[in-house]
A and B are shown apart, each in its own frame.
Chain A
């Protein structure tokens, strides 16, 4: 009997130790990554400034303002709409840590779906984060879920009905920020985040807005810029200019009957020209093998390589991989090309910034020197 007590205590202690270790990892997901905005920062706000009922929730997130003080246009850059698409988040971070704005205003939200950064998708064996070299040493960046955390929005309905269109999607999409626009002031957490972002676009009179994404290599719209039809000439000009720099992008027009997406609803419900950009992210691929931080950073997946060599792969895939640095570089160059095209069409609302690395800067120097 005595022996059983000792065994029980031993198991209890072992369980407590394991729970302690696991809870440390779990709670780490709620810690905010450190970011170091450039000296051009003029104000840090919160998304709840545009919808007070978000205050104190996991949907509230930082909004960084870089105002030149010189009259011009305004651009908004959204990273982290899908926290499992790291190039969007990292692009926003690199932009805000280096930018100097000389005309107009730049607004950056690096973690648009803050709640999604506090968990990962179940059954996917995804890492919680990854370390990147920076000027100040190794820096940790969170990796998250495609959607808001279940703990913040529970339960999912069987069928998600988009507000206000009534479009029906699978229940999982109820927590997808990029199916929730234009949002609802008294809706679910995800709908409220979407509503606040649309309010920000309206109140700050944003002219050009970017929603940065990634997609699995087998998705046909990777390396694409998706535009609302009212922004198609700006998008076309940007794609042509990018081609001069040897960067190939496909231009896609937002479907009018696919509701809830930024490139559709921002354009329909505000004056803004919306642009959604995609890069290729093997960690989202269904064919992927070992799923770890290395795959996020280097983007080399042996399974895709094997499929490519077998001749069965019907998509464009670089066997050398799709490194995070290249994906960030593409997004930064894409933003620059769109802003330049916008400036050409609307010279009275110029947005001019400098000191942000170009594609070739990152190709030559890597990401490290552009992370503070």
Chain B
């Protein structure tokens, strides 16, 4: 009997460490922000709307915007047009994102990384934003096309972060619903 109990405890603990994504839960209110100023923030908003989840979207969110927020969703991906629209440089955007994720961590706000832009939001220009957002996150939802080289899977494994890889952007709506 004791052996069975021990086995059950081991299985239970093992499942927690091996499959942390199954247990992850995020709370509302939600703030969505960008890392790289791509318009994927707008698409992320649409996905949350589809899953009937309320949110506030501020592509240029700063520390002060985290007041009262329980979950910060970071949508990474570089866009030169987006940076132009925001009127900032790449370095300024990196500084803003770093400051935002650090402030969120200090306030114990959970960070969810949502990468939905596929290959268009990967590569030299996007990957430092992807890395900052992924490493700062508690959980990641990634559309498969953007993870063909296992970029996010590797970060998830190295940093022991939960990751859910979905086939399509539209599938991310269900994945979001699961964690809220």
Contacts and interface: CB of A to CB of B under 8 A. Distances in A.
Interface of A is mostly: mixed
Given A240-B170, A248-B145, A252-B79, A258 B84 contact: yes
Contacts of A236: 39, 42-43, 45-46
A252 B81 contact: yes
A257 B46 contact: no
A250 B170 contact: no
Given A252-B82, A253-B85, A257-B84, A240 B124 contact: no
Interface string A221-253: 101101101001101110110011000101111
A243 B39 contact: no
B162 interface: no
A303 B134 CA distance: 35
A369 to B, nearest CB: 30
B117 interface: yes
A243 B82 contact: no
Contact of B124 (A223, A254, A314): A314
Contact of A233 (B46, B79, B121, B124): B46
A228 B72 CA distance: 26
A240 B173 CA distance: 11
Given A236-B43, A251-B42, A244 B170 contact: yes
A239 B85 contact: no
Nearest to A222: B120
A307 to B, nearest CB: 15
A252 B39 CA distance: 5
B119 interface: yes
Nearest to A316: B119
A273 to B, nearest CB: 14
Interface string A107-151: 000000000000000000000000000000000000000000000
A273 B117 CA distance: 23
B82 A237 contact: no
A235 B118 contact: no
Nearest to B50: A240
B29 interface: no
A232 B42 contact: yes
B125 interface: yes
Contact residues on B (Cβ < 8 Å of other chain), bracket: 20 to 34
B123 interface: yes
Interface string B91-108: 000000000000000000
A347 interface: no
Given A240-B46, A258-B84, A220 B170 contact: no
B40 interface: yes
A251 B39 contact: yes
A256 interface: yes
B120 A256 contact: no
A255 B120 contact: no
A253 B80 CA distance: 10
Contact of B169 (A233, A243, A257): A243
A29 to B, nearest CB: 34
B87 A235 contact: no
Contact of A243 (B40, B123, B168): B168
Given A223-B120, A233-B46, A257-B85, 19 more contacts: A220-B80, A221-B81, A229-B85, A235-B39, A239-B43, A239-B169, A240-B43, A240-B47, A243-B168, A243-B170, A244-B170, A250-B38, A250-B117, A250-B121, A252-B81, A253-B39, A253-B85, A256-B85, A316-B119
Interface of A: 220-221, 223-224, 226-227, 229, 232-233, 235-237, 239-240, 243-244, 248, 250-258, 314-316
Q: Nearest 7 CB-CB pairs, A to B?
A: A255-B84, A250-B120, A251-B39, A236-B42, A255-B85, A252-B81, A236-B46
